[in-house]
Structure 1
């Protein structure tokens, strides 16, 4: 876009971008010199309008990195008061008060700030996004205002949606506040009667596990987080929270994760069982190869026959990535022709990670090339390629042309890698 050079035109364009929730345009205008703090005829500023609009992404675009030094204390207070007012009343209720419209509001979930979502409410010709909790949290952090931990937790659980902007803003700030006091107050909620608060603590633990991987505190936090997860798994009675705990345990290096998976594989809730295979799945290397115990293999086979498609898909993805035993070979046809397409895709994904195999597997992969699903054909072609099957060129010919969505898909390079490995005079620098 072409940025206006006149200051008045620049601010007018910035206000239009704020009203349209066009973050890209707003960022470009501010970078080009449009003043987000310019006082408008109605006494507001573009930044205040962004705050009232409830989009944390838009607020971040106008706030910049020097807001505390740039804005007078009174203006900082005005912005915080506006965010508190909208959050306290609720976006829809405040919009009704301002418009005087009593009819039904139009509510749609939209993406804000990359992968975060927020309800966008339209009423009486005016629209706002209900992200004022995140806006308030972000403003407090930018202005060095430390909100009580309990208040941040309350904002984080106000919506049950895991990708709601309010929740993620609270998680971000709580993990930026590095102190024993903050940490202790947060994890105290792991025994709260409200399952939403217990689940929120699990997400805090997850953030902390990944966020401190390369710091001086990493060792202490890893032990503390693992201890909390193991204790919570043993005590948790709510299926939703337990599923969240198992999900995070699948990402943690906990010695007892296999035993936990075996114990939870028969849980009556499929939402819990879906995360069990992940407890048996971890990164292997030449120095530390992954070896599934007989009990784990047996459990995975049972889960591959589960009545829930997501459970079958998760189990198939792990089991298919192992060198097959006879019972696995007998199970593979059912997985590759499962009525749930995700089960088929996850099975092929697992088969595509095994460079060695038996003829029965290769023949099943060849049969998959007749599928109407391009993704299935591509997965089967890769499975043949990694096994250096001579039918690989024919397999990729059956895959057909790939669209731009496969540009960065490693499976698309399978034929090239197969040709490189099988060229007449291979050199020492052959790619994997």
Structure 2
């Protein structure tokens, strides 16, 4: 295959959003800076315009130049900044940008991100396009988990993630932005799944030191609950990422004391959620203190704390969990079931409740219910029957988990269960442990694989 043919195929793969094909073509020798089909701009610009972070990342890994000057004087990196997608910008920023970019360019990028953030996406679009009509907005997922608003006006599209872009640049260029300013930026949209919120806690975790920790913890006394929720979310991340840190004892102690005085149910739930990620001698006492809280969110996380203290579970804790199996909130009952499945004394009643939940009209919980049933140590016919019944669910992940649970039990209905899962997306499930278990079962039984071939299968 000639180089020009490889480049044409690369451009096509970029436009179709096929990151795996992009990597394959680059490995075969395609030019990562090949022109796209429109206007001759590098294919990286097409990925940026499409807000396609995986393709942009693949191109960058293959040697694309984010700093190449374009005919309009911009660069792919500047276009990614203007676009306002933190996921795309992170992909295009590249490794060690502080060393790659001269100081003047770093300052320009910081100023550009701050201008977009302070001006706002809609006004920024008006200035760019001269359009005065209303902007069309929609909420989109940016990256794997977080969301951001996307605006269209005058033929241009931007995402309102410039706060996260600015935070990312400050970290990359080692700009010591004051903690108070960062937290104000995080809670401007008080949602922990917003890109700005996530970018700030990640930066604070990266910048961790005694001074940053103290400045962040100071906000747990802030009158705005959003500030306190942010601190709890930050500590939750710390507990997951750096549970062996020398400051972990201090952090867990802060959470234990905080849980005794927090009056907002939503914030208390976040405090308890964070506390469950640590080790502390008062885990069980803290969980028991809140199992009867009037806010179901707090009760839910009190169960999480009791679950985290399972090695020292007392008769009082078991009694509390048994009582909560009758909680009016279904999410609380499901969380108790998850905890109970690990406890011989609670296994039977927790399983009974799981079976009831599986039969009930709780579609939003069905994924968690079937996952708990599949993993349960209970091998009674009632659990297998509940899993078999869930094969008729309209959600494929639920059917996949149900079939997996039957495979683990070597249930005689396994063959039919696998067929009822439905055709699978090979790329998305290539390394899925459940798919591997189903594949192994059909191989042992000498049956044909009834689902779509996984990536790499012949």
TM, length-normalised to structure 2:
0.76
Change (3 A) 1:296 1:151: same
Q: Distance in 1 between matches of 2:361 and 2:94?
A: 50
The 3-state SS of whatever aligns with 1:118 is: strand
* Number of the residue aligned with 1:281: 307
* Number of the residue aligned with 1:180: 210
* Number of the residue aligned with 2:95: 65
* Number of the residue aligned with 1:427: none
Which of 393, 407, 416 is the equivalent residue of 2:411?
Answer: 393
Find out whether 1:267 has 2:293 as its counterpart.
Answer: yes
Determine if contact 1:322/1:354 at 8 Å carries over to the other structure. Answer: no
Determine if contact 1:317/1:346 at 8 Å carries over to the other structure. Answer: no
* Number of the residue aligned with 1:413: 437
Please give the root-mean-square deviation of Cα atoms over the aligned residues, in Å. 3.4
* Number of the residue aligned with 1:156: 186
Which of 388, 405, 414 is the equivalent residue of 1:369?
Answer: 388
Q: Distance in 1 between matches of 2:439 and 2:46?
A: 50
Q: How does 1:42-191 map to 2 (within 5 A)?
A: 42-191=72-221
1:13 Cα deviation from its structure 2 partner: 3.2
Q: Distance in 1 between matches of 2:171 and 2:86?
A: 13
The 3-state SS of whatever aligns with 1:111 is: strand
Change (3 A) 1:399 1:282: farther
1:379 Cα deviation from its structure 2 partner: 6.4
Q: Which runs of 4+ in 1 moved over 6 A?
A: 5-10, 374-386, 414-417
Which of 224, 228, 236 is the equivalent residue of 2:250?
Answer: 224
Q: Distance in 2 between matches of 1:246 and 1:211?
A: 17
* Number of the residue aligned with 1:298: 319
Change (3 A) 1:308 1:100: farther
Cα offsets for 1:241-299 (capped at 9, x unmatched) = 11111111222212222222222122222222222221222387xxxxx4743333332
Q: Distance in 1 between matches of 2:367 and 2:58?
A: 41
Q: How does 1:186-205 map to 2 (within 5 A)?
A: 186-205=216-235
Q: Distance in 1 between matches of 2:32 and 2:358?
A: 61
Cα offsets for 1:307-365 (capped at 9, x unmatched) = 222122212222244335676677566444333246666555445545466xxx43454
* Number of the residue aligned with 1:423: none
Q: Distance in 2 between matches of 1:235 and 1:80?
A: 40
The 3-state SS of whatever aligns with 2:285 is: helix
TM, length-normalised to structure 1:
0.80
341-350 or 271-280, which deviates more: 341-350
* Number of the residue aligned with 1:210: 240
Q: Distance in 2 between matches of 1:352 and 1:27?
A: 36
Determine if contact 2:401/2:434 at 8 Å carries over to the other structure. Answer: no
Change (3 A) 1:152 1:313: same
Q: Distance in 1 between matches of 2:210 and 2:204?
A: 12
Cα offsets for 1:164-204 (capped at 9, x unmatched) = 22122211221222332222211111111111111111122
1:369 Cα deviation from its structure 2 partner: 2.9
Change (3 A) 1:382 1:144: closer
* Number of the residue aligned with 2:337: 316
Determine if contact 2:284/2:309 at 8 Å carries over to the other structure. Answer: no
Cα offsets for 1:88-140 (capped at 9, x unmatched) = 11112322333333433222222323333222111222110111111111112
* Number of the residue aligned with 1:426: none
Change (3 A) 1:67 1:398: closer
Q: How many residues align?
A: 403
Determine if contact 1:321/1:353 at 8 Å carries over to the other structure. Answer: no
| Structure 2, gaps ≥5 residues long | 1-9, 12-29, 445-458
| Structure 1, gaps ≥5 residues long | 285-289, 421-432
Q: Distance in 2 between matches of 1:328 and 1:176?
A: 40
